Structure 1
């Protein structure tokens, strides 16, 4: 067919106006002989233009017309023009679903299923769908009949005849009818099996809740009982064969496609458990072994096929267990784990397009509703609905969720589910991803009624609704609690004290009564302060609940708020700086050390809102601040009080950065560089203690001698201090060296040096609530028996004549940290030949080091300590790794400059680079050392006091686990991993240390 240029131009414009994106192709299709009788009919063009995708609808129509017989073709076209209901339905489906267009092209007569428009057609239920499937006698005919029924259902949906909830319910009813038909086919194929057993099919998930998607796994559980005269085991085997056959009928893919997969993995023991169980077997499992998520799944259980009486018995029997789930001991950690697991399983490149599992997605609404049902449904039967929107409405009616919040969630959920439906309807594929193709987004937006700028309108609406869900996800748990204690809402719509306590318990609060008192103190009243707290607390309470100790977090927040509540910047900081509030919540609920530091200086909260606030200060910066403060102070004790204030603030900065970096980050534990975190803490604490000692030294000198001590004086850090590897609870191991100034006698100089040491120690040990800084000089020559301080010449004489190999080893990590810098360098020049001996160690020295290590292992391990879990002296712990590295340093440091470092990890890397240890073995030692260091830091952060073993208290152990990246309930995994990693390190140590040649 040819068209005049003017005609073509006019048609092209008309097609554009009607929403076609490819008018040239559409014009060609409309010019086909098959459409001659309706070509360019304005009624047809208007109807096509009203569809989600006019181009797709026209292509689908052409395929149906061309596939049908000539007489049927004309009937269809005539009916399209004269019958608006059919026109809207058929073209609406063709414009929204390529898959249903394919079905109609294969079965061109099935369009006749869309002709009727009677009252019963507007609300079909299971019985009507069963009639639609009645003629199906084999799997293929069932698939065809299923698609025909789905066609009618989709037509009502796209035409707006049914809403979201009704469409989802119809999909569940169609699934129910299909399961019944598939089971009937299976029974017909194996009548002997059918005769031996009663088999019930119980729907779970969205099918059970009568809120199914277009394409979704249909979750089921199978229950069987023997018929009279049949042995139970044989009956279960027969039922298993029937169930498996039924699943294949629905799940197999043929030329007619797939109906949908039947998923039985929600059964006891999942895919590892038997497909079919008796009722008593189900109950035995649920009463002894089931996890919280299994009871959450059972909330939607509904008998749908097979022996409905047996299915109803199953649902009745498990129902009490569902509503007792919140009383189980592991309910809280299970819930926390379920909430985190969802997000962790989403690929990073898809999380922003995930309708179901992404932030603000469908699962956030469903999880929140189901959790509140489990908590409050045990005492309120009105909440026990398997349908999300019905349950949300019941929660609002009962005051468990604010009515305005429930209305917003309802609207958002309906919109997101509608998006999900239309995305799946297009190709009838199981997906929850929002497309990123412009044409797909245009069709999706138009299918939801957005016609002016469908892509932009859709994107705005989608983001708005996910934002609402994100905002309300935590708020709906906690806002009613605040309304209850603040007594601002009407009494009839407030939670009762009992319901509030139940909710707090379910969210991890061990003392709900105390928690409610704190909430009342923080949020009651009509002041601006209380109003801001009511805005902040719903989110903060969620962060606290996600920690190992929610009660401590809330108590700490109340204390900080009491201290700073009248300070204008405090609440403004938390309200306006998003990171500050979350950082504060993480820090307050992670253990005792950081909150204790903050309580002593609440104004340090400001650190948490500064993007640079968590970055550790350099030693030079700290020393400048400390020495300037000492210079301004009136007296030594007031000077050291100021120095302690700086140390307290900076220790809080370091602990906060460590906690937030360890588990307040978006990275998963596996992605974090734990070595870098350990190094950062070690350097920060070492620099801070060095600055503190420098300040105490200056204060001690000024108090007695003014600005100049009669002798030059230096403090040398050794052990972890010199290695920049201090943990939070480490002592400061030091050596003291002095050199008389010109004209000062040895006796006067020595007396001055000893006096200043005593004064430094006194000042640093004045009673205080701050973590102590203990100066330990026991690594000096002759140990506790030797003088506290020596001259450089005295050190040289001692080391030349009397030094033992262990002293050379101790000097490997010696580094000046305070006092006279030139004298400190002189000391290092003195000891370098000792710790890095030319030509390395002799055989006798190596044997002596090994003997000392073996003796330490046998004598210094605390009585009763588990050697596999002691991080310092235990198997594969800090000592094993450090002695191995230090032996290599003493043997090869003279020849390998990279080994001449005080830092363990740097020396190990240098040894590996020099070929002294294989890469895999070096990595094994490094991993063990980093892990042991992290455990040591974690113990101090959690308990507020140092320790070299895992805590025995369950809550403290959980907190240590959280710091190390383990979910609640996985303490056993943490200990197993620690033992495994350190066992491998011990094997390397035994080979490299005890088995190494000199």
Structure 2
């Protein structure tokens, strides 16, 4: 079938006889706006079939697909749809997700509709012309692929309907402007299939050769691509171009044995050719890297998140690094060991990307290079020396503060990254690494803040002239050495007694230590809510009291005749000396033992009522809150703490701020059966890992509610916490069953010992 300026009418005449049931305006629109090469490629019967598909398109039905059996197990898949940006990539991804390898392909796009000339003014008696068919003027695409199934099971008829439905869903997402959601829709299904062949990934894939030609087409830049054929190659490359804002107007796909020869006709997002050689080189490099990275997405818990972050990361490298640094960075990224590492990292956490990579991406590459050799847990002596060296280079208080927080953020990133990309570190080791870092940061901050205030007010002295001791004590997860993602750093500040400073400007000790704690609270910066945030709400009398308390006042408050509420007695189980005067710290711990583990009876009904109030306050109907919900983390922690308070007087080895150590003590003393204890231990570790998996996405302590079990977010959560079989939906179902089992274990133990909630 040929085409030319004089032959369009003959084509229309031929096609009219083949498909007489198609409206004339649809047929003419198709012929007049289709690429001339299309009519040279396809015979009239095939063109008529495509026009039939186009005739069924409406704004509410933007896509049609046909599947024809061909020779030797091959299929011809034709897709006619309205034109959308990144549509070609999405279609290729859908085909690959169904296990279909593209051997050949032809992709064509309509030209824009020519505006109709204005109508003459109608006389009252003139007959009004009917409005054109809805959607007629919209650009359309005709994509034709010759495919063969990669699996031995072939491509049975039920899969035909499933493919139609999937492609339609994707196009409908594009139709409503939800491009990222469409990409995620494709990525998840495609990566799940690639995951079954993960062992075949050996690092950097085969070289891709890309050349550009602006001489053959008046409107488009021609990209010629040559490469060995690999699974989902076409999707990976087309998606990379889409992520670089490159629009594909036409494509020719051919496979010669194991070699691919593809030709893309492309424009930038503004509809212009790609003329700048520097832009071409940048596109050549970044598109290939994105294409290669696509094959590492099987290591990512959230493939769409990983791919988007990698694309942004490339932007930062290309835009902000010099030539030498850029080449070094790109060499590193191209290393065969880097892709899986980056996929795990970039697909796990929004807050790691947003809070570090965007601001400190220049530091990412050395960190990634060195992390394998650095242990998860650094000795505190090493941390102190490294921090002291960093702070020693600063010459002002503000510079020392900045140096400390940079060190903190880098170490936090190292610990978080190590925990994400290494499957071996345990929850206990992760918590210990975070706790030791927090202790070192707190110790150095106290020294620097005391030095700053000392220049203004001198040293605080007791009334007898001796130095006034000061101690920082940890509570909550910090006190228990149980820190996790986004855990607060809960603190209590205590000083030795009344007195005054010895500087030229004198302050009463109460005022001095109040200012010292205020200085500490602003010295240690939290990049965003929940990440290393210092919390002082558990001090005596709560938020209305002084930030620092004299020892005697704290002792009197926490006594049988004092004002401490029962929940404060329970909270003090976690108290542990962190930094400052060791003698004062031991005094506080000794008083804690005498108060918390006294023989005074523990009011179980009041404690359970407080737990019920938490349920009403924090858990909404229909939601599963893994911390505050029935059977959640709180039920395990409270059950252990209730038993510690009840039996700690007679069993000193229960006097520990660490939950797992306390549980082990309860088992050893025969207060909890070995079966129940092991069940609680497993449930505690499981739910702690689950909480970390929820929080690591956004780094927020509020992320405690499970997503719907049938959602993509739940699938990503399952992979993030270690469920990594080939069938991702099966992983999600397995996680859902384990959640139900462990929360049931917790609920049953709590209710049997203390009553129903």
In the other structure, the counterpart of 1:232 is none
State how far apart, in whole Å, the 2-side matches of 1:294 and 1:537 are: 21
State how 1:642-661 maps to structure 2 within 5 Å: 642-661=403-422
Q: Which runs of 5+ in 2 are unaligned?
A: 1-68, 76-95, 103-145, 150-154, 171-184, 207-221, 253-260, 462-467
Q: Evaluate the alpha carbon distance shift between residue 705 and residue 698 of structure 1 in structure 2; reply closer, same or farther with a 3 A threshold.
A: same
Instruction: Check conservation: 1:598, 1:652, Cα contact below 8 A.
Output: no
State how 1:515-526 maps to structure 2 within 5 Å: 525=280
State how far apart, in whole Å, the 2-side matches of 1:513 and 1:486 are: 6
State how 1:160-309 maps to structure 2 within 5 Å: none
Instruction: Give the one of 628, 642, 648 matched to 1:893.
Output: 648
Instruction: Give the one of 431, 434, 454 matched to 1:685.
Output: 434
State how far apart, in whole Å, the 2-side matches of 1:522 and 1:727 are: 49
State how far apart, in whole Å, the 1-side matches of 2:529 and 2:405 are: 8
Whether 1:359 aligns to 2:200 is yes
State how 1:545-556 maps to structure 2 within 5 Å: 547=300, 548=302, 549-556=305-312
- TM-score, normalization by structure 2: 0.62
Instruction: Give the one of 421, 428, 448 matched to 1:699.
Output: 448
Instruction: Give the one of 693, 704, 708 matched to 1:948.
Output: 704
Secondary structure of 1:779's match? coil
Whether 1:590 aligns to 2:351 is no
Instruction: State the 1:964 CA deviation.
Output: 2.1
Q: Evaluate the alpha carbon distance shift between residue 496 and residue 734 of structure 1 in structure 2; reply closer, same or farther with a 3 A threshold.
A: same
Q: Evaluate the alpha carbon distance shift between residue 935 and residue 399 of structure 1 in structure 2; reply closer, same or farther with a 3 A threshold.
A: same
Instruction: Give the one of 559, 578, 593 matched to 1:832.
Output: 593
In the other structure, the counterpart of 2:218 is none
In the other structure, the counterpart of 2:744 is 983
Whether 1:604 aligns to 2:364 is yes
Instruction: State the 1:482 CA deviation.
Output: 6.9
Whether 1:728 aligns to 2:459 is no
In the other structure, the counterpart of 1:633 is 394
Instruction: State the 1:907 CA deviation.
Output: 1.6
RMSD: 4.8
State how 1:393-432 maps to structure 2 within 5 Å: 402=226, 405-406=228-229
In the other structure, the counterpart of 2:91 is none
State how far apart, in whole Å, the 1-side matches of 2:713 and 2:278 are: 29
Whether 1:924 aligns to 2:684 is no
Q: Evaluate the alpha carbon distance shift between residue 570 and residue 754 of structure 1 in structure 2; reply closer, same or farther with a 3 A threshold.
A: same
In terms of fraction of residues, the more helix-rich structure is 1
State how far apart, in whole Å, the 1-side matches of 2:571 and 2:158 are: 69
The superposition leaves residues 113-138 of structure 1 with CA deviations (integer Å, 9 ceiling, x where unpaired) of xxxxxxxxxxxxxxxxxxxxxxxxxx
Q: Evaluate the alpha carbon distance shift between residue 322 and residue 914 of structure 1 in structure 2; reply closer, same or farther with a 3 A threshold.
A: same
Q: Evaluate the alpha carbon distance shift between residue 495 and residue 979 of structure 1 in structure 2; reply closer, same or farther with a 3 A threshold.
A: farther
Work out which of the two has the higher radius of gyration on C-alpha atoms and give 1 or 2. 1
Secondary structure of 2:635's match? helix
Instruction: Give the one of 541, 556, 561 matched to 2:294.
Output: 541
Instruction: State the 1:293 CA deviation.
Output: 5.2
Instruction: State the 1:805 CA deviation.
Output: 3.4
State how far apart, in whole Å, the 2-side matches of 1:724 and 1:821 are: 18
State how far apart, in whole Å, the 1-side matches of 2:583 and 2:276 are: 58
Instruction: Check conservation: 1:871, 1:949, Cα contact below 8 A.
Output: yes
Secondary structure of 1:595's match? helix
Instruction: State the 1:963 CA deviation.
Output: 0.6
In the other structure, the counterpart of 1:965 is 722
Aligned residues: 550
Instruction: Give the one of 236, 253, 264 matched to 1:496.
Output: 264
- TM-score, normalization by structure 1: 0.48
Secondary structure of 1:965's match? coil
Instruction: State the 1:908 CA deviation.
Output: 1.5
Instruction: State the 1:921 CA deviation.
Output: 1.9
Instruction: Check conservation: 1:876, 1:928, Cα contact below 8 A.
Output: no
In the other structure, the counterpart of 1:52 is none
In the other structure, the counterpart of 2:472 is 715
Instruction: State the 1:977 CA deviation.
Output: 3.5
Instruction: State the 1:645 CA deviation.
Output: 0.7
In terms of fraction of residues, the more strand-rich structure is 2
Instruction: State the 1:986 CA deviation.
Output: 0.6
Instruction: Give the one of 332, 337, 341 matched to 2:192.
Output: 337
Q: Evaluate the alpha carbon distance shift between residue 589 and residue 342 of structure 1 in structure 2; reply closer, same or farther with a 3 A threshold.
A: closer
State how 1:129-148 maps to structure 2 within 5 Å: none
The superposition leaves residues 588-615 of structure 1 with CA deviations (integer Å, 9 ceiling, x where unpaired) of 2223111122322221332222222362
